[in-house]
Amino acid sequence: MRASEDQLKTWMVEGLDGNAASHAALLRALVPVLRAFYRRRVGDGDAIEDIVQETLIAVHTRRISYDRERVFSAWLFAIARYKMIDHFRRTRQTCPIEDVEDILFAAGFEDEANARMDVDQLLAALPEKQARAIRETRIDGHSVADAARTAGISESDVKISVHRGLKALSARIRGERL
């Protein structure tokens, strides 16, 4: 079973106070956590145990850099991430692209993906013609003329579809909030 943030933090703080047993318990509990962290991100399976050990050594030798007032896992994963990037640099390997997202912009990427999903969901509730007109002119940034040409309808038809679609959407959003 994975140890919780509270448990890890307690062991860490006791270790900082000089309790060797707690410190050993902490390092042992970190092994599965770190293995899982790297397994998801490092392609090279043979390297994982080495990086885990290096991270444990760093956690041990650089433990004074942990501030007791702060979240333990934030400190731990910052070190784990540093060690992973260092590993990539040493082996001249590049990060798989989906992991770069994960490393650098985990939060922002998630928000963006959620926002897109929300929009898709809303548009799915509209008639196909209106949804398409909104998507092309308001989201993908095409001109009304382009949208009319690709859909094979007149420009005023596109404008009316956008107008009706947006009206229906705002009514729906208001309805949901009320």
Partner 1 sequence: MNTDSLIETLARDVGPVPRHAVGRRLLFGLLAGGTVTVLLIAVSLGFRSDLGLAMHGFTFWMKWAYTMSLGFAAIAMVARLARPEPVHLSAFWPVVIPFVLLAIVAIAEMAHVPSGDWLAMWLGQSWKRCPWLVLMLSAPIFAGLLWSFRRLAPTRLRAAGAAAGLAAGAWAATLYCLHCPEVSALFVLTWYSLGILLAAAIGALVGPLVMRW
Task: List interacting residues with partner 1 (CB under 8 A).
Answer: 15-21, 23-24, 27-28, 31, 49, 52-53, 56-58, 60-68, 70, 74-75, 78-79, 81-82, 86
Provide, rounded to whole angstroms, the least separation between the CB of residue 86 and partner 1: 7
What sign does the CA torsion over 130, 132, 138, 144 have? negative
For 41-91, the DSSP string reads H-S-GGGHHHHHHHHHHHHHHTGGG--TTS-HHHHHHHHHHHHHHHHHHHH
| Nearer to partner 1 (CB atom), residue 3 or residue 166 | 3
Match 């985990």 to its residue by tokens: 106
CB 16 within 8 A of CB 68: yes
Match 């997202």 to its residue by tokens: 101
Provide, rounded to whole angstroms, the least separation between the CB of residue 82 and partner 1: 5
Provide, rounded to whole angstroms, the least separation between the CB of residue 40 and partner 1: 19
| Nearer to partner 1 (CB atom), residue 49 or residue 111 | 49
Q: For residue 84, how many other CB atoms are within 10 A of its CB?
A: 23
Provide, rounded to whole angstroms, the least separation between the CB of residue 30 and partner 1: 9
Distance CA 129, CA 10 (A): 59
Distance CA 129, CA 134 (A): 9
Provide, rounded to whole angstroms, the least separation between the CB of residue 1 and partner 1: 18
Structure tokens at 151: 């859909």
3 state SS of 171: helix
| Nearer to partner 1 (CB atom), residue 3 or residue 16 | 16
| Nearer to partner 1 (CB atom), residue 11 or residue 126 | 11
| Nearer to partner 1 (CB atom), residue 47 or residue 79 | 79
